[in-house]
Amino acid sequence: MRLFRIQGGVHPEDRKGLAAGRPIEPLPMPQLLHIPLQQHIGAIANPLVQRRQHVAKGERIAHAQGPVSAPIHAPTSGRIVGLGLYPANHPSGLSVRTITLQPDGKDRWHRRIEGVGDPFALDAAEVAKRVADAGIVGMGGATFPAAVKLGLGQRYTLTTLVINGSECEPYLTCDDQLMREEPDAILDGVRIMAHALGVTRVIIGIEGNKPEAIGAISRAAAQFDQIEVATLPMRYPMGSEKHLVKTLTGRETPARGLTADIGVVVHNPATAFAVHEALRFGRPLTSRVVSVTGGAINKPRNLRVPIGTKVEDLIEHCGRFREEPQRLIAGGPMMGQPLPELRVPVMKGTNGILALTAAEVGGQTPGPCIRCGSCVTACPCGLVPLTMAAQVRAGNLDAAASAGLMDCIGCGSCAYVCPAHLPLVQFFSHAKGELAARGRAKQKQSATKRLAEQRAQRLEAQKRAKREAMARRKREAEAKQKAEAGANTERLPKAGDSANAQALAEAG
Amino acid sequence: MTAILSLAVLGVSLGALLGMAARYLAVEESPIVGEVEALLPGSQCGQCGYPGCGPAAAAIAAREAPVTICPPGGRGLAQALAQRLNVSVDLSGMAEQEPRVAHVHERLCVGCTKCFKRCPTDAIVGAKDQIHAVFEDACVGCGDCADVCPTECIEMRIPSQTPLNWVWPQPLAA
């Protein structure tokens, strides 16, 4: 299969040997599970359970709110012991609404868990609905609700489904290991997704440093004509979906557009596996494979972990640290986020836990930019990171945005090659967050303006209604008075009559 | 008689003169005022010291008030105003003046309904003898509710931070 070149990129040492080839082992059920309600991109899920309630494995404990959201299911059977704020697996270290579940050790499935005999007999909307109900999100780390992507066929003309098995981040081996161990299940999920999207062509892209995975997937795919397996060159960031699509099809995704604009949808192999589980067995997404690795980990492993397990429990299972880690990261070393503490939970998008030694981090102090242009060569998006960073530092966020900040995928290639060790990505993350905050402030302002206007109108209407009611009452009172006055005048002659009668009587 | 006549003539002619002056020498309202007013929050909260957003917009457009005058608008608004009026602005002083939102301390709230009757954006929900609560997303931080609260249970504080509105800090590096 012909591959196309992408610009830029870097070749970091892959260091996958630490955990590669270690079979996926299930983690023993921990004492407590802390299941955050925000594990996906989109609206936070809404809890459905109460404290002290017993739940079965796979039972829905929080439902999706809005079109872009995902429900959450109990990873095992047990009792809900808490519903409140718990530290999030997020660089801010802030807390998020979390359900705490105490496993009862029985791991009893909910009785209404059942699969579909023939998923290919279902129509696209039904498959998407089942995927949505299973709470499946993009398992590569982006955590975008998978069902939304499966529904893209209604608005776009789709031709190709790409499965992103590149796993281009160093250290991580969870997708590699899953592809080695479960190629048939993954391919089944892939075929169900292709059926739902209505595409005729499926390409599974895997980087060349995973020959076992390529072998396993190729053997499993040999019986399906529509599925091709492509060996990708080892270059970071091959796993960025736009770059992957460019490599495989030669077509470029429009800036700030979707790959669906050029008829391609990209999914992760772990997502395909979750789709297989959801459709064939009715099992919602309640666990995932996590690579626990890095030079500071005693025994690097690939673990199948119930969602909500504390990072601490994973590290405990891997024999704790061989030396004090310099840095703890959720995700890969290039795009992962620092872990604020060890008691934060594993989420649907947590593909790796890295504990890196001081030697691996190699933290040098940043120096001044010498405008060497290395970052420009390395940028896979054709941007000029040095200019953008200078603009951000000067506070000219709009200038940075017009220099292409919003096209930056945050891959970190620029910071990786920077000889001055500038924290370029952090400049960009800061600027993107600040611009988003400004957008939110603007939105709030227009919303409050509307509220204030509506309130003024309402008060005005109330005043008017009051005035009108008063006027009406006045009119009615006047009318009544008039009517009474009329009655009196009518009665007057009567009075005269009676007076006359009296006079007559007296006379009589 | 002469006195009445002369005063009447004087009154009518001066009145006519004033009326003509109002018609022919009228100063059109600067379009900038309208644009500035469109940028302002429009909740008429009065935190700037002007009676409402309209007068504040007029003062800003006339360069009588600084662009940093609006606390609910914050830095974003100051920047937008500065850009519109082509003035340079020092935002460093505004950093301390973070936007505030009202928060009801539920233990002290007696459900008197005074605060939500005053709220310019209907950001407070509640009913008589029920504990009130504030929608942070709709609160402009004007503080009117805190002023009328008989039990001082409303605190103006920095909006709560969540992972969703958290922003990476700017790196300190060179």
Q: Where are the domains of chain A?
A: 117-352
Whether chain B has a CB inside 8 Å of the CB on A440: the answer is yes
Distance CA(A284)–CA(B153), nearest Å, equals: 45
Give yes or no for A434 touching B (CB within 8 A).
yes
- Chain B: closest CA distance from residue A284 (Å): 26
> What is the arithmetic mean of pLDDT over A193-213?
93
Give mean pLDDT, residues B140-165. 88
pLDDT digits (tens, 9 = 90+) for A441-480: 888 888 888 888 899 899 999 999 999 999 999 999 999 9
Pick from A21, A7, A335: nearest CA to A209: A21
Alpha carbon distance B172, A188 (integer Å):
49
Within 8 A by CB and 6+ apart from B42, the residues are: A448, A449, A452, A453, B53
**How far is it, in rounded angstroms, from Cα A330 to Cα B27?**
64
Same fold, B31-94 and B101-157: no
Residues of B with Cβ-Cβ distance to A396 under 8 angstroms: none
pLDDT at A504: 52
Mutate to test the interface with B, among A37, A38, A89, A92 (most CBs of B within 10 A): A92
Residues of A in contact with B158 (CB under 8 A): none
Q: Fill in the amino acid letter for A258.
A: L
Tell me if the bond preceding A237 is cis, omega within 30° of 0. yes
Please report the pLDDT score of residue A493 as a whole number. 53
Spatial CB neighbours of A48, under 8 Å, sequence gap ≥ 6: A60, A61, A62, A63
* Nearest Cα to Cα of residue A96 among A85, A106, A81, A105: A85
Q: Is A265 helix (H, G, I), strand (E, B) or coil?
A: strand
Q: Give the DSSP letter of residue A16.
A: G
Backbone φ, ψ for residue A473 (5° rounding):
-60, -40
What are the residues facing A60 on neighbouring strands? A73
Radius of gyration of chain B (CA): 24
The 3-state DSSP class for residue B3 equals: helix
> What's the pLDDT score for residue A271?
95
Residue A420 forms contact with B (CB below 8 Å): yes
Mean pLDDT (whole number) for A72-84: 94
Contacts of B91 in chain A (CB under 8 A): 395
The first and second tokens of residue A113, run together, are 């868990």
DSSP state of A62: E
User: CB under 8 Å, gap of 24 or more: what pairs does B66-73 form?
Assistant: B68/B93, B68/B94, B70/B40, B70/B41, B71/B47, B71/B97, B71/B99, B71/B100, B71/B141, B72/A445, B72/A448, B72/B41, B72/B43, B72/B45, B72/B47, B72/B99, B72/B140, B72/B141, B72/B142, B73/A445, B73/B39, B73/B40, B73/B41
Pick B31-94's CATH classification: 1.10.3720.10, 3.40.50.150, 2.30.110.10, 1.10.15.40. 1.10.15.40
Residues of chain A with Cβ-Cβ distance to B72 below 8 Å are 445, 448
List, for residues A16-27, the tens digit of each pLDDT value.
988 888 999 999
Cα distance between residue A40 and residue A42, in whole Å: 6
What do you get for the CA distance between the two ends of chain B, in Å? Answer: 89
DSSP A156-175: S---EEEEEE---SSS--HH
| Residue A183 token pair | 């190629």
- pLDDT, average across residues A226-238: 92
Superfamily per CATH, domain A117-352:
NADH-ubiquinone oxidoreductase 51kDa subunit (3.40.50.11540)
8 Å CB contact between A7 and A237:
no
Which whole number is the average pLDDT over A403-413? Answer: 93
Average pLDDT, rounded, for chain A? 91
Query: From its phi and psi, is residue A485 left (phi > 0), alpha (psi between -120 and 50) or beta?
Result: alpha
Q: What's residue A508's pLDDT?
A: 42
Q: Return d(Cα A127, Cα A122) in angstroms, integer.
A: 6
DSSP string, A287-335: EEEEEEESTTBSS-EEEEEETT-BHHHHHHHTT-BSS--SEEEES-TTT
pLDDT in the model for residue B43:
75
What are the structural domain ranges in chain B? 31-94, 101-157
Is B76 in Cβ contact with A442 (below 8 Å)? yes
- Collapsing DSSP to helix, strand or coil, A240 comes out as coil
Percent of chain A residues topping a pLDDT of 70 = 96
Tokens 């705490």 found at: A100
Q: How many residues does chain A have?
A: 508
Q: What is the number of other CB atoms lying within 10 angstroms of the CB of residue A308?
A: 28
> Residue B78: which of B63, B67, B93, B66 has the closest Cα?
B67
Decide the pairing of beta strands A287-293 and A352-356: parallel
Both tokens of B93, joined, read 């002083």
For the cut 90, the answer to whether the pLDDT of residue A494 exceeds it is: no
At B12, the pLDDT band (50, 70, 90 cuts) reads very high
| Chain A residues within an 8 Å CB radius of B122 | 451, 454-455
User: CA B85, B87, B91: angle at the middle one, nearest 5?
Assistant: 115
User: Residue A136 corresponds to which tokens in the numbers above?
Assistant: 């499946």
Q: State residue A498's pLDDT score.
A: 52
Q: Could you say which residues from 38 to 97 on chain A have a Cβ atom under 8 Å away from some Cβ of chain B?
A: 38, 88, 90-92, 94, 96
In the three-class reduction of DSSP (H, G, I as helix; E, B as strand; rest coil), residue A60 is classed as strand
Least confident of A241-255, B86-100, B114-128: B86-100
Q: Judge: A91–B168 Cβ closer than 8 Å, yes or no.
A: yes
3-class SS at A196? helix
- Could you tell me if A71 and A133 are in contact, meaning their C-beta atoms sit under 8 angstroms apart? yes
HEC profile of B92-123: HHHCCCCCCEEEECCCCCCCCCHHHHHCCCCC
Q: Which CATH architecture has domain B101-157?
A: 2-Layer Sandwich (3.30)
pLDDT tens-digit profile of A364-381? 888 999 999 999 999 999
Enumerate residues 195 to 234 of chain A having a beta carbon within 8 A of any beta carbon in chain B: none
User: Are the beta carbons of A7 and A382 closer than 8 angstroms?
Assistant: yes
Alpha helices in A337-396 (DSSP H): 358-361, 374-378, 385-393
Whether A443 has its CB under 8 Å from any CB of chain B: the answer is: no
CB contact under 8 A, B167 and A90: no
Q: Looking at the complex, report in whole angstroms how far the Cα of residue A45 sits from the nearest Cα belonging to chain B.
A: 14
- Position B116 scores a pLDDT of 84
Helix axes A424-507, A385-393, angle to 10 degrees: 50
Of A286, A277, A251, the closest CA to residue A77 belongs to A286
B63 token code pair: 């360069």
Compute the average pLDDT of residues A197-225.
93
Mean pLDDT, residues A418-433: 93
pLDDT at A431 (0 to 100): 94
| A59 in Cβ contact with A102 (< 8 Å) | no
Length of chain B, please?
174
Instruction: Say what the pTM is.
Output: 0.82
